[in-house]
């Protein structure tokens, strides 16, 4: 008997909730049905919706309660606003479509909120959006390149080898004096800061830093690249036609520039990686260009043989490495997904 009473109570509550099911407070007509407010069906035409609005507007217009009590005036005002809002929604085809979508898909709350509020978002020309996006990307790109360049300069200023060279150049040019002038009233800290600035300036002027740490150029930012893209395209077509004519048709021998290009292509290295200053990567001795040229790696067969040999050497070194052996044991036991219990 108790279970039957509980079932009846649940059914009763569902009946109470069902009229407002699918409606969201603050969207369209709130927890009420726009069609029911105007007294029309969902299949009503625009003309029927307009007739329903005018009929109700005459009945509930605030002027109709001008001589009534304040409570009556308030009721007319609220009802008239509700009727006007329902009419504004249903007379517009796009809004009516979105509203019908909400009635048919009451569970898609996020989609319904999006469809409702997108109408009130400011209409912006897509060209302005693209231009602003490109500008932001270009600024970030240039700022990142400048940070990389400053990182490289600061590294060279601290590296003893290049710092000593820079100090020698500064002294030879008279930028730094070995002795303190009596007339110089600067403090030791000020003198040290000035010398650091001079050393940094000498390194910037004398040191050729290439690749990803090179000095940023305005031509490398996205905006300028897009503007100059037709020019680059024409240059590439000319270069390609020249390559085909010289080396495919006329069968000429490759020059040094062409050999280095083929080696870089086989290595799958970008221009910035290829031109990266060995100053910043002192351990990359095995990638020396002289070795590439000596082993004639611009020839594909020789490059493949050299690459295979390097891979075998690397495997042998890894096999002898204690850390690599520990890593292999770790992977055999399950790797990152393994579950362990206990203090380990």
- Percentage of the chain beyond pLDDT 70 is 78
Q: Report the number of distinct structural domains present in the chain.
A: 3
Looking at the domain assignment, is residue 311 inside a domain? yes
Same-domain status, 110 and 57: yes
Looking at the domain assignment, is residue 343 inside a domain? no
Lowest mean pLDDT among 24-28, 36-40, 224-228: 24-28
Domain-ending residue, one of 216, 232, 263:
216
> Tokens standing for 295?
């082993």
Sequence length of the chain is 344
CA angle 231, 237, 238 (to 5 degrees): 90
Between helix 300-320 and helix 256-267 the angle, nearest 10°, is: 50
Whole-model pTM: value is 0.52
Query: What's the pLDDT tens digit per position in 136-179?
Result: 999 999 999 999 899 988 888 888 888 888 888 888 888 887 66
pLDDT band at 189 (very low <50, low <70, confident <90, very high): confident
Domain that includes residue 310, residue range: 253-329
On the question of pLDDT at 14 being above 50, the answer is: no
Domain-ending residue, one of 120, 153, 182:
120
Looking at the domain assignment, is residue 234 inside a domain? no
Same-domain status, 263 and 321: yes
Q: What is the pLDDT of residue 223?
A: 93
Same-domain status, 179 and 267: no
Cα 35 from Cα 52, distance rounded (Å): 10
The CATH number linked to 29 is: 1.10.287.110
pLDDT band at 300 (very low <50, low <70, confident <90, very high): very high
Q: What is the pLDDT of residue 188?
A: 80
On the question of pLDDT at 326 being above 80, the answer is: no
Beta carbons within 10 angstroms of residue 246's beta carbon:
15
Looking at the domain assignment, is residue 184 inside a domain? yes
* All residues at 6 or more sequence positions from 112 whose CB lies less than 8 Å from its CB, including other chains: 24, 27, 98, 101, 102, 105
Same-domain status, 112 and 141: no
Looking at the domain assignment, is residue 334 inside a domain? no
On the question of pLDDT at 2 being above 70, the answer is: no
Same-domain status, 114 and 33: yes
Nearest CA to 86 out of 22, 18, 32, 23 is that of 32
Q: What is the pLDDT of residue 332?
A: 66
Same-domain status, 148 and 74: no
Looking at the domain assignment, is residue 10 inside a domain? no
pLDDT band at 333 (very low <50, low <70, confident <90, very high): low
pLDDT band at 1 (very low <50, low <70, confident <90, very high): very low
Same-domain status, 132 and 201: yes
pLDDT band at 20 (very low <50, low <70, confident <90, very high): very low
On the question of pLDDT at 341 being above 50, the answer is: no
Cα 232 from Cα 238, distance rounded (Å): 10
Lowest mean pLDDT among 52-56, 108-112, 116-120, 323-327: 323-327
Q: What average pLDDT is seen over the chain?
A: 81
Looking at the domain assignment, is residue 339 inside a domain? no
């Amino acid at each position: 008997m108790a279970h039957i009473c509980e079932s009846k109570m649940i059914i009763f509550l569902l009946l109470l909730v069902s009229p407002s099911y699918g409606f969201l407070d603050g969207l369209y007509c709130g927890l009420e049905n726009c069609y029911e407010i105007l007294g029309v069906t969902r299949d009503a035409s625009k003309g029927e919706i307009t007739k329903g609005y005018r009929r109700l507007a005459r009945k509930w217009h605030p002027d109709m309660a001008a001589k009534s009590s304040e409570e009556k005036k308030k009721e007319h005002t609220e009802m008239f606003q509700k009727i006007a809002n329902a009419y504004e929604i249903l007379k517009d085809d796009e809004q009516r479509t979105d509203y019908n979508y909400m009635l048919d898909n009451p569970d898609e709350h996020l989609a319904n909120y999006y469809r409702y509020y997108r109408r009130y978002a400011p209409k912006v020309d897509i060209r302005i959006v693209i231009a602003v996006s490109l500008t932001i990307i270009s600024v970030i790109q240039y700022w990142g390149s400048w940070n990389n360049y400053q990182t490289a300069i600061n590294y060279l200023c601290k590296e003893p080898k290049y710092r000593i060279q820079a100090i020698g150049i500064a002294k030879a040019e008279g930028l730094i004096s070995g002795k303190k002038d009596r007339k110089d009233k600067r403090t030791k800290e000020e003198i040290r800061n000035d010398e650091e600035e001079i050393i940094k300036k000498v390194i910037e002027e004398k040191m050729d830093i290439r690749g990803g740490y090179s000095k940023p150029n305005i031509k490398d930012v996205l905006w300028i690249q897009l503007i100059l893209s037709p020019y680059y395209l024409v240059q590439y077509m000319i270069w390609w036609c020249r390559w085909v004519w010289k080396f495919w048709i006329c069968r000429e021998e490759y020059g040094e520039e062409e050999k280095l290009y083929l080696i870089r292509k086989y290595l799958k290295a970008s221009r910035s990686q290829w031109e990266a200053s060995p100053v910043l990567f002192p351990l990359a001795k095995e990638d020396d260009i002289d070795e590439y040229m000596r082993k004639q790696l611009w020839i594909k067969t020789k490059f493949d043989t050299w690459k295979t040999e390097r891979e075998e050497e690397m495997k042998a070194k890894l096999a002898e490495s204690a850390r690599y052996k520990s890593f292999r044991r770790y992977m055999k036991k399950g790797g990152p997904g393994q579950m362990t219990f206990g203090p380990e």
